[in-house]
Amino acid sequence: MTALNAAVSTLPGVGPKKAEALGRLDISTLTDVLFHLPSRYEDRTRITPIAKLIHGVDGQIEGRVTDVRIAFGRRRTMLCTLQDDSATMVLRFFHFSKKQEQLLRRANWLRCYGNARIGRLGQIEMVHPEYQLISEPGVLAMTEGLTAVYPATEGIGQHLLRQLSTAALNVLNKGGTLPELLPESLGEQFDLAPMADAINYIHRPPENADLEKLIDGDHPMLQRLIFEELLAHHLSLRQRRKLREGYQAPQIPANSERFRKMIAALPFSLTQAQQRVIDEIAKDCSSALPMQRLLQGDVGSGKTVVAAAVLANAVAVGEQCVLMVPTEILSEQHYRCLLEWFEPLGVCVAWLHGRVKGTQRKKLLAALAGGDIDILVGTHAVFQDEVIYKKLGLVIIDEQHRFGVPQRLALQRKGENENSRPHQLIMTATPIPRSLAMTFYADLDLSVIDELPPGRQLITTTVISRQRRNDVVERIRHACLEGRQVYWVCTLIDESNLIVSQAATDTAAELTEQLSGIRIGLVHGRMKGDEKAQQMAAFKAGEIDLLVATTVIEVGVDVPNASLMIIENAERLGLSQLHQLRGRVGRGEQKSHCVLMYHGTLSHNARSRLAIMRETNDGFAIAHKDLELRGPGELLGVRQTGDMRLRVARLDAGEAMLDDIRSVADELLASNPVVVAQLLQRWLGRAQDFATV
Ligand code: ADP
Ligand code: MG
């Protein structure tokens, strides 16, 4: 046993409690610590005067504590005022202990690092910054080189993670060995750095490291890690695909009478593309091999009706079906849609959501277990333990990029017994370039809707600096007075749900002040389900003119009368996400507009990204560009989905690398099962259990 195999609890500072919390990060050994890679880097090599802080940008400051007080507003908040030669600012804490409060009250000077916010009145703030007590300014040495920031969890802060990685790197560099799992010839063929060098580099980038390259992931040192990580994911998908062959699924004949009736009742005719994918899916379902198909179609291409067509055939032969979606807002929308289409056909559609409680819930679950419900619509709720299906034959997952593989599998398992499992259709509006899909969705067959329903209007997009916010507000006023509806989307990247929700609340308050007479609504992630649903319903009914929202509205929401969208901090979002958001408008008769608002000066990369949004409405073109500019990690959205989390923060893998990965995988699967297992263990850890059950 090498020292790197030792348990993390052998390191100083890791007691049983910490060890358990580390387990949540999938860290149990020193090797796991080494493969817990930074998600980003911070530049703490200098101090910024408070007055020079930039909205939305991280900064390090030193200031004298002039006041600490607790504000009792809607929530208890600790406010700590700091001052330096240039200005004053406030540190805002929503969670804090008595101990912290006392510490700050006794503090004289602080050094802080955090994301700066500058309010409309010029007040400078940081929410939950990292801070350190100092006796006077300038006494504490600056950090040399870039500071790694790790994915953290409750009870495990950056400080501990840095300490642990330092300890693990020490062991590695004093003779610990990280096995080189890739065949030697491969390393030469692709010019990959040795593993130990790459690991050292990514945790502790040298002082002269090129931050931009490092963040973009095209640093040569990173390529080694990226190659291995992508290879490991691809291998696990290939294994999963192979597993399918051991199962059977119910045979669902195509073109049932229910299906024909449903299609005939639609107020429109299907596009050719819709017809084609319906045929592809129906063919899968009529075979006894479980379907595992990914349906891609741009925003607004009409995936819902395709799903309904498949459902119609399945219920026709008595199979139970479930449609899982990522948000409750979307689940309600789908439920209403399916109800309209299926109720006249005598099909029982039910909706499972957070507000179905008590006896109502019991009744619904009993009806499901008894087979009285044909189609169940809902969020993650649909695969919880208490939910039992009589005979689940078809699983449809909408907006797949919001779910992790474990969640997909948990749902699938609801319909699994002995050697049979349900058919699975997975839908996404994120068009994935083919090479990427072949590598990253290797467990799935692919269908594409490459045509929009006729008569769609192009959305006009403009890019505007936040300094022109007042013009934008005037534009909203005009639009609302003309009876149009507007979305205002608040986004902050790398921030907690809490802070983004707070920002949305603040924005709604500001806009209410500025736009008297305009009816303003608000939805954010921390609102209760029924509050959210009520606001959405009011917006849909036209009782609200302007809806201030976080990205909870990103997926699927369909309000055709909304024709103007403002997206704040657009420069910090990925192209695919912007495209998704923008897809909330342009759904009706009216000419639609999207305003991308940015802060400060745009980097070269950000400028070209926003330019793409202005130039095209084509999701595939946008996805290709996204792949080129930000790498597959962002595009796939896997970082949002928990267990399938990629460890290398930015995966920059050209299409050539993706092709190589597939051929290396072929080779390893054919001749080296031991290395396959080791790669899965190293990169997927516990997550791989899902692939091999
Ligand atoms: P998405 O692919 O983004 O999920 P939806 O299924 O929500 O798209 O469809 C968007 C809108 O287009 C809906 O209002 C739907 O009724 C409508 N629609 C779907 N297919 C067609 C069609 N063939 N012709 C006209 N309208 C359609
Ligand atoms: Mg949809």
For the segment 251-294, what is each residue's pLDDT rounded down to a tens digit?
Answer: 999 999 999 999 999 999 999 999 999 999 999 999 999 999 99
Contact 71, 92 (CB under 8 A): no
pTM over cut 0.75:
no
d(Cα 327, Cα 14) in Å, to the nearest integer? Answer: 37
Final residue before a domain boundary, out of 140, 158, 184: 140
Residue 475 resides in a domain:
yes
Ligand 1 pocket by C-beta < 6 Å: which residues?
268, 270-271, 274, 297, 299-305, 429, 453, 556, 558
d(Cα 163, Cα 141) in Å, to the nearest integer? Answer: 18
Q: Are residues 463 and 608 in the same domain?
A: yes
Atom of ligand 1 nearest to the CA of 298: 2
Tell me the ligand closest to 558's alpha carbon.
Answer: 1
Q: Are residues 464 and 439 in the same domain?
A: no
**Angle, vertex CA 414, rays to CA 411 and CA 416, nearest 5:** 115
Q: Are residues 440 and 512 in the same domain?
A: no
pLDDT in the model for residue 335:
95
Lookup result for tokens 């998600």: 39
What spacing in Å lies between the alpha carbon of 183 and ligand 1's midpoint?
A: 49
pLDDT in the model for residue 218:
65
Final residue before a domain boundary, out of 387, 416, 449: 449
What spacing in Å lies between the alpha carbon of 444 and ligand 1's midpoint?
A: 24
Q: Which residues line ion ligand 2, judged by CB < 5 Å?
A: 556
Domain extent at residue 554: 459-616
Q: Counting every residue, how long is the chain?
A: 693
**Angle, vertex CA 136, rays to CA 134 and CA 141, nearest 5:** 65
Atom of ligand 1 nearest to the CA of 297: 2
Contact 28, 7 (CB under 8 A): yes
Atom of ligand 1 nearest to the CA of 301: 2
Residue nearest to atom 12 of ligand 1 (CA): 302
Tell me the backbone φ, ψ of residue 562, rounded to 5 degrees.
Answer: -80, 125
Beta-sheet strands, E only, within 508-663:
520-523, 546-549, 562-567, 592-598
Q: Are residues 359 and 482 in the same domain?
A: no
Q: How many helices (H) and strands (E) does the chain have?
A: 25, 21
Q: Are residues 60 and 106 in the same domain?
A: yes
Tell me the ligand closest to 303's alpha carbon.
Answer: 1
Q: Are residues 400 and 534 in the same domain?
A: no
- Which residues does the chain have with pLDDT short of 70? 1-2, 187-188, 190, 211-213, 215-218, 492-497, 554-556, 630-646, 649-655, 686-693
Q: Are residues 551 and 573 in the same domain?
A: yes
Tell me the backbone φ, ψ of residue 352, rounded to 5 degrees.
Answer: -105, 115
Terminal Cα-to-Cα distance of the chain (whole angstroms): 28
Judged on CB neighbours under 10 Å (0-12, 13-18, 19+), 539 is buried
151 three-class SS: coil
Q: Are residues 263 and 378 in the same domain?
A: yes
The domain tally of the chain equals 3
Give the CATH number, domain containing residue 100.
2.40.50.140
What spacing in Å lies between the alpha carbon of 551 and ligand 1's midpoint?
A: 21
What spacing in Å lies between the alpha carbon of 231 and ligand 2's midpoint?
A: 31
Compute the Cα dihedral for 286, 290, 296, 300 and give only its sign: positive
Q: Are residues 511 and 388 in the same domain?
A: no
Beta-sheet strands, E only, within 466-606:
485-489, 520-523, 546-549, 562-567, 592-598
pLDDT in the model for residue 687:
56
Q: Which residues contact 128 (CB under 8 A, 6 or more apart)?
A: 92, 93, 94, 95, 114, 499
Q: Are residues 426 and 277 in the same domain?
A: yes
Contact 45, 31 (CB under 8 A): no
* Best residue for ligand 1 mutational test, from 266, 268, 553 (most atoms within 8 Å of Cβ): 268
Residue nearest to atom 1 of ligand 1 (CA): 300
Tell me the ligand closest to 299's alpha carbon.
Answer: 1
Q: Are residues 435 and 550 in the same domain?
A: no
What spacing in Å lies between the alpha carbon of 690 and ligand 2's midpoint?
A: 27
